[in-house]
Amino acid sequence: MPPRITALTDPDVSASSRRLAWLAAAPDGTPLGSAFLRLLTRAGQEHLAELEIAVHRAERRQGVGSGLLEAAVATARSEGRRSVVAQAEEDSPGDRFLADRGFRRVLTLTYARLVLADADLAEITRVAELPHPGYRLTSWEGTVPPELARSYADSRRAMDDMPMEDTDYGTVVWDVDRVLAAAEAVAKRGDLLHTVAALDAADGSVVGFSELVTPGDGRGDAQHYGTAVLPEHRGHGLGRWMKSESIRRARAAHPGLTGLLTDTASSNAPMLGINAELGYVPTHRAVEFQLDL
């Protein structure tokens, strides 16, 4: 008997998206799987929806995932979306499920982890303290200081040419309100946002940044959110410099941290090189899939 697919009310609404949800259940009400569809609402990304599907291991290959996918895709179409993206670990059941249902592979990501107990902190400190003529580092916790807010928002265009391969990701338009909303979202869920930024010594403007989010209790693994440098300031080692300082600060502020996690497009050779130099070890790869509606 096919699973019953029920649409749920999801309160997860933000300034840049809203989320829809479905539950798949057996006739007796036993949960079998779930789906979440995030509809992006910011200018430049209104065409896009992000999909997550999870099915209990014992219930796979019984039509549960297909039922959830059908409901989510139908809704994406009715909402006027032209692309649905979803991610799965490479060579996993989810990888094969998406490929068999018309999704195409558009991006491969390499996930890596720095084990802090094994990190060469002396070398990382040395890199963080190297002089970079014409530049200086600054840092903050949580929301960007008001005097840097505009410059920091402007510097987010450093991510515009981040390798996305064939993903129909659209254009992310950053302004001060979006920068503040992103920091507030991290705080609301109880995590801590740490940012290291490179400043142009001539005018004090932000030319690059490296973000790290740590658990609120300062324990376990922290997650890098992004490291980027404006195109006109590349070639000076600023990415490696900022990331080294971020590692050093995280270790000093949160001795209970065990590791730092990062994910990078497999085609982004410069950042993969920085990660390798700093001691990050690849853990797995994931594939970003896209369904064109």
CATH code of the domain containing 55: 3.40.630.30
Inside any domain, residue 77: yes
**CB neighbour burial string for 99-133, b if at least 16 within 10 angstroms, e if fewer:** eeeebebbbebbbbbbebeebebeebeebbeeeee
**What mean pLDDT comes out for the span 146-164?**
85
pTM of the model: 0.87
Q: Does residue 163 carry a pLDDT above 60?
A: no
Inside any domain, residue 290: no
Claim to verify: residue 43 and residue 165 sit in the same structural domain:
no
Mean pLDDT of the chain: 92
What is the pLDDT at residue 167? 74
Which amino acid would we find at residue 211? Answer: E
**What mean pLDDT comes out for the span 34-40?**
94
Claim to verify: residue 15 and residue 144 sit in the same structural domain:
no
**What mean pLDDT comes out for the span 34-53?**
91
Claim to verify: residue 144 and residue 203 sit in the same structural domain:
yes
Contact 198, 239 (CB under 8 A): no
Task: Give 165's pLDDT tier (boundaries 50, 70, 90).
Answer: low
Claim to verify: residue 56 and residue 126 sit in the same structural domain:
no
Q: Does residue 10 carry a pLDDT above 80?
A: no
What's 210's DSSP letter? E
Residue with tokens 């068999």: 100
Domain count, the chain: 2
- Calculate what percentage of the chain has a pLDDT beyond 70: 98
Instruction: Point out the domain boundary residue: 62, 81, 100.
Output: 81
What is the pLDDT at residue 184? 93
Claim to verify: residue 119 and residue 250 sit in the same structural domain:
yes
Inside any domain, residue 86: no
Inside any domain, residue 24: yes
Per the structure, the complete domain to which residue 160 belongs is given by: 112-285
Q: What is the pLDDT of residues 204-245, one digit of tens each?
A: 999 999 999 999 999 999 999 989 999 999 999 999 999 999
What is the pLDDT at residue 173? 77
Task: Give 164's pLDDT tier (boundaries 50, 70, 90).
Answer: low
283 in helix, strand or coil?
Answer: strand
Q: Does residue 112 carry a pLDDT above 60?
A: yes
Task: Give 161's pLDDT tier (boundaries 50, 70, 90).
Answer: low
Claim to verify: residue 25 and residue 75 sit in the same structural domain:
yes
The more confident residue out of 59 and 190 is 190
Claim to verify: residue 66 and residue 129 sit in the same structural domain:
no
Contact 255, 117 (CB under 8 A): no
Claim to verify: residue 257 and residue 174 sit in the same structural domain:
yes
Distance of alpha carbon 26 from alpha carbon 193, whole angstroms: 41
What is the pLDDT at residue 158? 85
Q: Does residue 283 carry a pLDDT above 80?
A: yes
Inside any domain, residue 209: yes
Claim to verify: residue 120 and residue 187 sit in the same structural domain:
yes
What is the pLDDT at residue 58? 79
**What mean pLDDT comes out for the span 147-164?**
84
Task: Give 281's pLDDT tier (boundaries 50, 70, 90).
Answer: very high
What is the pLDDT at residue 44? 82
**CB neighbour burial string for 275-293, b if at least 16 within 10 angstroms, e if fewer:** beebbbeeeeebbbbbbee
**What mean pLDDT comes out for the span 60-85?**
93
Inside any domain, residue 63: yes
Q: What is the pLDDT of residues 227-236, one digit of tens each?
A: 999 999 999 9
Inside any domain, residue 140: yes
Claim to verify: residue 276 and residue 219 sit in the same structural domain:
yes
Claim to verify: residue 171 and residue 54 sit in the same structural domain:
no
Question: In sequence order, which residues have a C-beta less than 8 Å from that of residue 187 and are 6 or more positions away?
Answer: 142, 143, 193
Inside any domain, residue 68: yes
Q: Does residue 162 carry a pLDDT above 80?
A: no
Segment (H or E) for 127: helix 121-128
Claim to verify: residue 136 and residue 201 sit in the same structural domain:
yes
